[in-house]
Amino acid sequence: MEQAGGWNEKYWPGEDGLMCLAIRKLGKKLIESSNLIVYHHRRPLFRPHLKQVSRFGIYRGFSIRKSQENSLKPTYFFPSLLVLSFLIGLVLTFLFPFFGYILLAGVIAYLALTLVAAIIEVKKVRLTLVVWAGIIVTHIIYGVTFIYGLTKSDLKR
């Protein structure tokens, strides 16, 4: 770890990924251990959770800008594509009203899929609407902050 430059908490929450990249660049191997358990605790809904998610979004967008190969998974882009699709759909709807139907169909499909995800995720039925809202807001916050992270030339801790 010392040869790799140590932990750089300036890039939280991505300092672990940076460390792994630095170790690989030194020609060292990273070994998975099935005996090791790491707990990543999500913060409670809404404010603390969304703050945490926004940090992930900013860092992930920034790391893609810096060409870090461990940040190029397609799933990292989905929430931003969702946000951009919605915004483009709104603009197109004003220009060409027919696009309103396409936008509405997309929003209904998204809401249905996220509702199913919420139903699957919850243990108490009375929490379904809260979890559903949490999923939607999480996608939006992450999507917007990911795009913001793409514009950053550096991060401040």
How does DSSP assign 84-124, residue by residue? HHHHHHHHHHHH-TTHHHHHHHHHHHHHHHHHHHHHHH-SS
- From CA 4, how far away is CA 135, in angstroms rounded? 37
Quote the pTM value: 0.81
- From CA 26, how far away is CA 4, in angstroms rounded? 7
- Secondary structure element (H or E) that encloses residue 52, with its range: helix 47-65
**Domain extent listing, the chain:** 1-40, 42-151
- Specify the amino acid at residue 60: R
Read off the pLDDT of residues 104-113 as tens digits, 9 standing for 90 and up.
999 999 999 9
Burial of 11 from C-beta contacts in 10 A (0-12 / 13-18 / 19+) = buried
Minimum mean pLDDT range among 1-10, 36-45, 64-73, 124-133: 64-73
pLDDT computed for residue 127 by the predictor: 93
Does position 70 have pLDDT exceeding 70, yes or no? no
Helix 99-121 × helix 78-95 angle, to 10°: 150
pLDDT band at 3 (very low <50, low <70, confident <90, very high): confident
Read off the pLDDT of residues 119-140 as tens digits, 9 standing for 90 and up.
999 989 999 999 999 999 999 9
What mean pLDDT is reported for the chain?
A: 88
The one-character DSSP state at 66 is T
Residue 155 tokens read as 């991060």
pLDDT computed for residue 157 by the predictor: 62
